[in-house]
Structure 1
Amino acid sequence: MSRTLNDTITWGMMLRKLPSIAKAIPRVVKGMKAANVKDPTQPCGLGWSFEQATLRNPDGPALLLGEVRLTYAQVNQWANRIAHHLIAQGIGKGDVVAIFIENRPELLVTILAMAKVGAISALLNTSQTRDTLAHSLNLVAPVAIVVGEELVPAFNAVRERVDIEAARTWFVADQDTYRHPGNSPDGFINLMTASCDACSDNPVSSQQVFLDDPCFYIYTSGTTGLPKAGVFKHGRWMRSSASFGLIALDMQPQDIVYCTLPLYHATGLCVCWGAAISGASGFAIRRKFSASQFWSDVRKYRATTLGYVGELCRYLVDQPRSVDDSRHSVTKMIGNGLRPGAWSEFKTRFAVDHICELYAASDGNIGFTNILNFDNTIGFSLMSWELVAYDHDSGAPTRDAKGFMRKVAKGEQGLLLARIDDKAPLDGYTDPQKTAKVVLHDVFKKGDRYFNTGDLLRNIGFGHAQFVDRLGDTYRWKGENVSTTEVENILLQHPHIAEAVAYGVEIHNTNGRAGMAAITPAESLATLDFSELLAFARQQMPAYAVPLFLRVKVKMETTGTFKYQKTRLKDEAFDPNKTGDDPIYAWLPDTQTYVQVTEQVLADIQGGKYRY
């Protein structure tokens, strides 16, 4: 992402913001008070927050999907019935319950019920199957699981590999179960039927959840090749919900958030739903994002606020122009990954006044928010952070002769480090060893500790930053973090592949990085059946992780320490003019095989002929 002169924030730009800053001060003070729960005996968190929102707006819309419209009172009572049933079944505070349901009201109501009990929801990625799904389940040792009907086949495929008793294997039918609980298959207990006659009052347990209690496990790509489970505590829920809902967006009961993002990720669940709950606002969702139906839904739900990721915005910009593009009630949007190239066009074409771009790692301790509505920035953070110099090949921060790290100059890109202290604790992962790997010690002085985000940012003035790229063994595509090691491990299971190196590459006019893999055949190029190889990859990994490009190498070059030269591979990408004798293959949209990249195919890809 290149920096333009317009991206630098000047004194003049700040002065023009003074009236809006003055207007925002009361809600910022209120929001900071709500966000910074410090008393370890004060009830707080998701369940408590929802109960407060219900008192504030009982008859207002809480959850909307299609023709389903549930008020705060209805959702709260529904979650209470499930919570009381869970307690009767022996689920208690600190118990881990895996949740495996696609975007629908039942997912959120189940998560809410777990939060009221004090149980920890392990939010399984609904794209996961086979080994990855089994790993994610066994990583957190759940005492129970709730499976949506739509994902029963995926769960059944790994059921024998997970130690969960049948009496705690709950089922949720794929329909409006608030009114019609449905029937469960053999081997499952229908959660909605079992809980329908339970007490609908707020359980006492929701007053016994405190800031240090875990609320969710949110999975993130692991450099070991399989997902890690990040701990998201109730105190952090309070910070996220108030920061985005009160401070950034000024959410009110008359607002409706429209969110098509997957709700097993923090942006959809904690940022968007959290913001809605903080304002006692409505939350309209969709099973899966649809570019063609997006604005129709916005008008149908009378949404005032959008949740987004950069790819979503690009898909909307790519849609044919319409006279209805600006005919809606949306005034603000919140999300991440909107590139400067699309920022101005989106804001102008769709007449959205405030783009509240944010940055937050679900496994980290820092967040940035574009509260002041500048363009092309993730905003500023109230936490203590620094950008440091790093080694371009390894991605590791560099140290000087005294052993300390060097801060980069304003305007220069650097590796983002966030200080770990009482104000910004690091909840980390379920595995302490994984947590230890992301903590840096003695960074600027003896005894200090910083969280290594693995992301590159640029300081553009007045505490505001710009996201540049992510380092290390993950890249982002289709709104998902992809682990290169996981892709490599799966490719190496193919009998005709001897070596594999996965990495992300840029395609012109797309967000994130597309998957590419350099592979060495076990025998020769002639033994590779590219249709079969693509079918294998699509069967073994989520769609967003399947490499779009392959580079076939006779021998893989390594460094002196036997590390693959990923930096060079990324730079050469899929341009046959740069890759020498290595043939490049591409999986073009709506095809079933990889085809060789010629000069013409390259021009067509970069010219936008194919929609990725």
Structure 2
Amino acid sequence: MSLPLYALGLLGAAYIDARHLIRDDLKTAASVARMSIRTLLRERRGTVNVFFSFEEQVNKRPNQVALIYPEQVSTKLPEDRMAPLDDYFVVHRWTYRELHDTALRFARLFRDELGIKPGDIVALDCMNNPDYVFVWLGLWSLGATPAFINYNLRSDALLHCIKIAGANVVLVDPEVSDNVDTVRKEILAEGKNIVMLDDVFHAKVKNATPYRAPDKDRIRQQQMSDPAMFIYTSGTTGLPKSAVMSWSKAIVGAGSYASAMRMTNKDVTYSPMPLYHSTGAVLGMLAIFSAGGAFAVGKKFSARTFWTQAKLSNATFVQYVGETCRYLLMSPPGPDDTRHGVRGAIGNGIRPDVWVKFKERFNLQIIGEFYGATEFPTGLTNYQRGEYGIGAVASYGSLLTNLLFRMRYTIAAVDPDDPNEIWRNPKTGFGRVAKTNEPGEFLFRIPDPQNIQNTFQGYHGNKKATEEKIIRNLFKKGDAYVRSGDLLKWDDQGLVYFVDRMGDTFRWKSENVSTNEVEEAFTNIPGIYQVVVVGVQVPNHEGRAGFAVIEPKDFNNPPDLDAIAKTVTEKLPKYAVPVFLKFTNAPLDATGTNKVQKAKYRNQQIPHPEETIYWLKNNKYVPLQANEWKEVEAGKARL
């Protein structure tokens, strides 16, 4: 073969590889195959408990740093936003061997003083700190199962979570003891033991000798579908549900994610995301441990100190959830915005309009977006570099895309008249797969519909909620899928995009409105810090009208209404432009993972006697007057 032809052949192969991501797919497939083989062997040997995997890392790299904790020693930061913040932190580090031994000291106290034994469920109500990791690994070493409580909960919600866990011991961080005190009597009345992780407890840990339980105490958990831990849903639409995080998800999920993000034992992941959430726990700590790297745990998210803590931890990855990236992007410049060794931000929920700006401002090469939920059997990933794949939640090559969306996932078309319901043919009763660029509900296929537990463990102690997540006989008789409750779409290149939560999408003027897309239209309007859009019911009108709840940057100086009207009417189709809006005088309610709680705004009272509500009149937002509302109620006003 002549040299020019050979060169042309190489160029052609390179083009095909770039277009179809063949090498990336082959690497991913090989990694998944290796992981599947190891997982099968672990199940056969009875070593599915992740503590066995952790000990393998301890034996491989005993003197390598495993855990890092940048502790803030002064809360009074300088007024100068560009002043260095290094001296306001003390950085603690533990090697794999030190972390292992400390966890076993905790295990000694758990067994000898608290009587914790294999199979027990133990509730942990604790802020992000080293104790969280020590307790977690210590419980696993005994063959016990932790239930991770949201440390912001109090009163009935907290009591509910402890009850449904079935835990007899509740381990409590002194910093959240006030929340526990709201239901302390009720917890004790249930016969449960409340143990404070205080100075007295730590003194006992320091003097304890490490206790490594015999392997048989952990080997009793032999099924990959057995619970590794319990992680609670956010409870935005009711009391939290206890989702089962199986050993399969703890091993395969964390390992696959580490592989997809190209993590190695040289990497450090910094995460201030709460460890009671699966993003911080599984995609944060367990993923980097599976790669043999180090986990840097931040106590709590702070836009001001985020990059300083990442720098001091020598982080190569930082973790985000929800609006975290936007909060960072909107924060004033800081001393360490680019003075760090971070190459990628990994997490879930970064908005497409923030994506590129975030990478550019903080000098990042990679965004590692993940789509999933605690209770989902698996998830999607997008290891995004360069310009390809911006805004997508999944980016695979042609090989994996075809394979995954035939065997594991699908996107089902929704009813055009009700975007919250999956469409079914009136004659056959079967649904159909969504077309290219058509939003539909993302579904996880259950390979064996007769044995759903192997794929989907659902919610602990809540059979009804578990069953409600399953849809059957959708494409053929006998099939079964796990419902995500999310609208996604794929494009002609195979990229998959998040569209909206199904409960958030609403119908107006015979059109489906994505709240996510409407919220993005408010981006870059001066004076707006964040916005949430919901659909509200209006008397004598079909569907729901768009309602924007705007948190100003300055509560005393709200954004210009004319600028808002001009921007949204130019960017959005008429039916999607919010009919009503209001400005808040306090921050929007958000979960501990920076996700705004939309549900509470859906039942907004219009008009409200104590609030100024604006409505769109002649393409301008003006205060809604009582007489105008009467016309709206009577169906006389044009919306």
Contact 2:99–2:134 (CA under 8 A) maintained in structure 1 = yes
SS at match of 2:167: coil
* Displacement of 1:249: 2.2
- For the pair 1:283 / 2:295, whether they are aligned, the reply is yes
What's 2:584 paired with?
Answer: 586
Which deviations, in whole Å up to 9, do the C-alpha atoms of 1:105-131 show, x marking residues without a partner? 101211111222222211111111111
Aligned pairs for 1:199-598 within 5 A: 199-201=210-212, 203-204=214-215, 205-210=217-222, 211-221=224-234, 225-245=238-258, 247-321=259-333, 325-371=337-383, 373=385, 374-379=389-394, 380=396, 382=404, 384-391=408-415, 393=418, 395-401=420-426, 402-421=428-447, 425-430=455-460, 431-461=462-492, 463-472=494-503, 506=519, 508-509=522-523, 514=532, 557=539, 568-569=544-545, 571-574=546-549, 584=582, 586-589=584-587, 595-598=611-614
Please say which structure displays the higher CA radius of gyration. 2
- 1:437 Cα shift? 0.7
Matched, 1:139 2:164: yes
> Structure 2: which amino acid aligns with 1:306?
V
Alignment check: 8 A CA contact 1:223 1:474 kept: no
5+ residue gaps in structure 1?
1-10, 174-181, 184-189, 476-502, 519-552, 560-564, 605-612
**Cα distance in 2 between the residues matched to 1:223 and 1:268:** 19
Q: Give the partner amino acid of 1:514.
A: V
Partner of 1:197: 208
Contact map agreement 1:85 1:195 (CA 8 A) in 2 = no
For residues 124 and 37 of structure 1, the distance between their equivalents in structure 2, rounded to whole angstroms, comes to 32
**Cα shift at 1:466:** 0.9
Q: Residues 367 and 384 of structure 2 are in contact (CA less than 8 Å); yes or no, is this contact kept in structure 1?
A: no
In the aligned structure 2, how far is the partner of 1:97 from the partner of 1:390? 41
Shift of 1:31: 4.1
Q: The residue matched to 2:421 in structure 1 has which SS?
A: coil
Q: After superposition, what is the alpha-carbon deviation per residue over 1:244-290, rounded to whole angstroms, capped at 9, x for unaligned?
A: 11x21232222111111111110110011111111111111111111
- Deviation of 1:195 after TM superposition, in Å, equals 7.6
Tell whether the 8 Å contact from 1:332 to 1:355 is kept in structure 2 after alignment: yes
Matched residue of 1:457: which SS? strand
Map of 2:115 onto structure 1: 90
Instruction: For 1:412, give the aligned amino acid.
Output: E
Measured in 2, the distance between the counterparts of 1:258 and 1:86 equals: 29
Q: Identify if the C-alpha distance between structure 1 residues 21 and 228 changes in structure 2 by more than 3 Å, giving closer, same or farther.
A: closer
How far residue 222 of structure 1 moved from its aligned partner, in angstroms, is 5.0
The alpha carbon displacement at 1:154 in A equals: 0.7
Once the two structures are TM-superposed, the CA of residue 37 in structure 1 deviates from its matched residue by 6.2
**In 2, Cα distance between the equivalents of 1:411 and 1:394?**
15
Q: Secondary structure at the match of 1:428?
A: coil
Conserved? CA contact 1:80–1:203, under 8 Å: no
Residues 493-538 of structure 1 deviation map (CA, whole Å, 9 limit, x = unaligned): xxxxxxxxxx9983723999738797xxxxxxxxxxxxxxxxxxxx
Deviations 1:390-433 (A, max 9, x none): 23546121210211112110111111111112597001001111
1:42 aligns with 2:40: no
Q: CA deviation at 1:99?
A: 0.5
In 2, Cα distance between the equivalents of 1:312 and 1:353? 18
Using the TM superposition, give the Cα deviation of residue 338 of structure 1 relative to its aligned residue in structure 2, in angstroms: 1.3
CA deviation string 1:448-507 (max 9, x = no partner): 1101110010112454311111123899xxxxxxxxxxxxxxxxxxxxxxxxxxx99837
Structure 2 match to 1:113: 138
Once residues 113 and 511 of structure 1 are traced to their aligned partners in structure 2, the CA distance between those partners, rounded to angstroms, is 42
1:535 aligned partner: none
- Paired with 1:41 and 1:432, the residues of 2 have a C-alpha distance of 30
Do the aligned residues in 2 keep the contact of 1:586 with 1:595 (CA within 8 Å)?
no
SS at match of 1:307: strand
Contact 2:423 2:431 in 1 (8 A): yes
Three-state SS of the structure 1 residue aligned to 2:315 is coil
- 1:71-107 CA-partner distances (Å, limit 9, x unpaired): 1111111111222332334322332211100000101
Tell me: CA distance 1:99–1:574, structure 2 relative to 1, closer, same or farther (3 Å).
Answer: closer
What TM-score do the two structures reach when normalised by structure 1? Answer: 0.74
Does the 8 A contact of 1:223 with 1:473 survive in 2?
A: no
- Indicate the SS of the match to 1:396: strand
Change in 2 beyond 3 A, CA 1:85/1:463: farther
SS at match of 2:544: helix
Letter in 1 for 2:69: L
Greater shift in the superposed pair: 341-350 or 456-465: 456-465
2:62 and 2:95 in contact (8 A); partners too:
yes
Alignment CA distance shift 1:164-1:269 (3 Å): farther
Distance 1:159 1:127 in 2: 15
**Aligned equivalents of 1:25, 1:201: Cα separation in 2:** 36
| Number of matched pairs | 507
* 1:184-222, Cα deviation, whole Å (9 max, x unpaired): xxxxxx376268414344643344433232111111145
Per the alignment, do residues 318 and 254 of structure 1 end up closer, same or farther by CA in structure 2, a change over 3 Å counting? Answer: same
- Note the aligned Cα RMSD (angstroms): 3.7
